[in-house]
Structure 1
Amino acid sequence: MQQAARQERNRIHTAIAARGMAFGTWVQMAAPEVAELAAASGLDFVIVDMEHGTLGIGEAAGLIRAVQAGGAAPLVRVPDHDPTGLLKVLDAGAVGVLVPGVETAAQAEAIVAATRFAPEGSRGACPATRATWHGLVDWPDHLAWARENIVTILIVESLEGVRNFEAILQVPGITAIGIGMFDLAQSMGHGGDVAHPAVQAELARLAGLVRGAGIEVFSATFDSAPDRVAAATRHWQGLGCRIFAASADRMMLATGFRAIVAATAEASGT
């Protein structure tokens, strides 16, 4: 008889336990084949980006399926703090969310509550969603799995968020904090220059506060060149980061196509 449906442990947790870091990427295009390919490449997680990608919940659900088919953990960056949006992506099978624009402890508390079932939170409960394999996983088993495996990553990316940073870190249930470095550099008056010394110093300070609070640091680079990805990985490892995303579907394609154009131009002498 075929084995009953079951839920796997979040690969972010298993990767950190096995080698001290979990690696992933972003997908913004409504292309399940790309999401599946990214997951099957050996990455631990793939982030479906509903904030900057042109994706609705139906398209996001298809990408979540594709990531699962490829063997990675599907996360979703939602566009805002709406608890209904958080509910929908988790019910669709995401094993975690990234929530942008967090500026206060009250916002953080509401977000965490929306990703946890009672009594820890206020997430709406339904025993027959895609997250329970449409009801094939018994509800008590799903509750226990969700408590151990759903990750909640908050993105702080404004001066207001920085001002309230230490209060945000006191909120129970946060898995990781990411610092939106481009937005932060913009709000600090440096025109998005993430390499500016003042921005780099602030990023290091905030990462230290996150680790000091016993929360994971999430970071990302949108470079696609392997040497730059390696350098960024080493840099953030040194700041205590253990959840790291590199590049994105659009950026990898743009990098690849630019390289082809440059190579053909050189070969043809044009």
Structure 2
Amino acid sequence: MSLRTRMAEGDLLLGLIVKVPSHAAVELAGHLGFDFVLLDTEHAPADTVEVEHHIRAGDAARIPVLVRVASRDPAAALHVLDAGAAGIVVPHVSDAAAAEAAVCAAHYPPRGTRSLAVSTRAGRHGTSSLADHLARAARETVVVVQAEDRSSVADCAAIAAVENVDAVWIGPTDLSLDLGVPGDFEHPEYRTAVARITEAVGNAPQCSLCVLADGPEEVGQWRARGATTFLVNYNSVVVRGLRDVVDGVRG
């Protein structure tokens, strides 16, 4: 079953955000039982060849790889999808028009405007038939949009309702920054904004709510609010674990 199908059916999905260039981290996520990897090229290196190698590592470990693109430029989506990514994550989607543009960049006509070539890695280097490639892309391509500013809060219901938006990811850091309360995730204005996005996505049955989670307790809290797609940050886990070792040794 594809990641997109599982997302649509409301399965509990656990993804690992990988920011550091590490093919092994992608493979490790698959061996550990994560459901997908989110390769970040917005706040991390975005070399196309390296992105392809990371996706190849995901294939080796049988784990789909989504790529957070660095911009809303359709070319960014085209490059990672041609490299074989299972889908894209688009930052700073502030309104329904931007969400529609993200979907169009990810999908072939008639739904979108993605340019077609089957000689790519996504087309299995020309060994897929055109019909199979188009059908697989239409069926399996995932589009996740990020709600992370005031405008996205105001238009969150329309964003979540856009056809083929598979998930809305609440971007906590940028959202708090745009609200003028950077890092204050307990501030009433921030909490109100998150509640509004949560409700809007919950009312869009084809759309999954995606959130960051530090551990099982936070996953449980978010599940009670309707979230089904959860992200763990590789860097945060590594930093926390190494800091525990250093603090334990230093006393």
TM value normalised by structure 1:
0.87
Instruction: Please report how far the alpha carbon of residue 190 of structure 1 lies from its aligned counterpart in structure 2 after TM superposition.
Output: 1.8
Q: 1:236 aligns with which of 199, 222, 225?
A: 222
In 1, the alpha carbon distance for the partners of 2:58 and 2:191 equals 33
Number of residue pairs aligned between Structure 1 and Structure 2? 250
State the partner residue of 1:132.
123
- Verify the 8 A CA contact 2:16 2:233 in the aligned structure 1: yes
CA change 1:68–1:155 in 2 (3 A) is same
Instruction: Please report how far the alpha carbon of residue 15 of structure 1 lies from its aligned counterpart in structure 2 after TM superposition.
Output: 7.3
- Verify the 8 A CA contact 2:153 2:193 in the aligned structure 1: no
Matched, 1:175 2:166: yes
State the partner residue of 2:11.
20
Identity of aligned residues (%): 32
Stretches of structure 2 that go unaligned for 5 or more consecutive residues are none
Counterpart residue type for residue 186 of structure 1: L
CA change 1:12–1:121 in 2 (3 A) is closer
State the partner residue of 1:262.
247
Q: Secondary structure at the match of 1:177?
A: strand
Question: Which shifted more, 41-50 or 59-68?
Answer: 59-68
In 2, the alpha carbon distance for the partners of 1:79 and 1:15 equals 23
Provide, for residues 177-218 of structure 1, a one-character-per-residue CA deviation record: whole Å limited to 9, x for no partner: 111122112222222212334322321221111120221111
In 2, the alpha carbon distance for the partners of 1:253 and 1:169 equals 33
In 1, the alpha carbon distance for the partners of 2:42 and 2:5 equals 25
Counterpart residue type for residue 201 of structure 2: V
State the partner residue of 1:199.
190
State the partner residue of 1:141.
132
In 2, the alpha carbon distance for the partners of 1:204 and 1:109 equals 23
Provide, for residues 78-104 of structure 1, a one-character-per-residue CA deviation record: whole Å limited to 9, x for no partner: 011010010000000001111000112
Provide, for residues 93-135 of structure 1, a one-character-per-residue CA deviation record: whole Å limited to 9, x for no partner: 0011110001122211111111111111110011111012112
Task: Compare CA radii of gyration and give the structure with the larger one.
Answer: 1
In 1, the alpha carbon distance for the partners of 2:43 and 2:231 equals 16
Instruction: Please report how far the alpha carbon of residue 171 of structure 1 lies from its aligned counterpart in structure 2 after TM superposition.
Output: 2.1
Q: Secondary structure at the match of 2:59?
A: helix
Counterpart residue type for residue 219 of structure 1: V
Matched, 1:47 2:38: yes
State the partner residue of 2:208.
216
Matched, 1:95 2:107: no
Provide, for residues 160-186 of structure 1, a one-character-per-residue CA deviation record: whole Å limited to 9, x for no partner: 222222332342221111111221122
Matched, 1:153 2:153: no
Instruction: Please report how far the alpha carbon of residue 14 of structure 1 lies from its aligned counterpart in structure 2 after TM superposition.
Output: 4.0
- Verify the 8 A CA contact 1:64 1:92 in the aligned structure 2: yes
Q: Secondary structure at the match of 1:217?
A: strand
In 2, the alpha carbon distance for the partners of 1:91 and 1:56 equals 14
Q: 1:115 aligns with which of 102, 106, 121?
A: 106
Provide, for residues 55-91 of structure 1, a one-character-per-residue CA deviation record: whole Å limited to 9, x for no partner: 3111111111112211211100001101001000000
Q: 1:68 aligns with which of 59, 63, 74?
A: 59
Counterpart residue type for residue 60 of structure 2: A
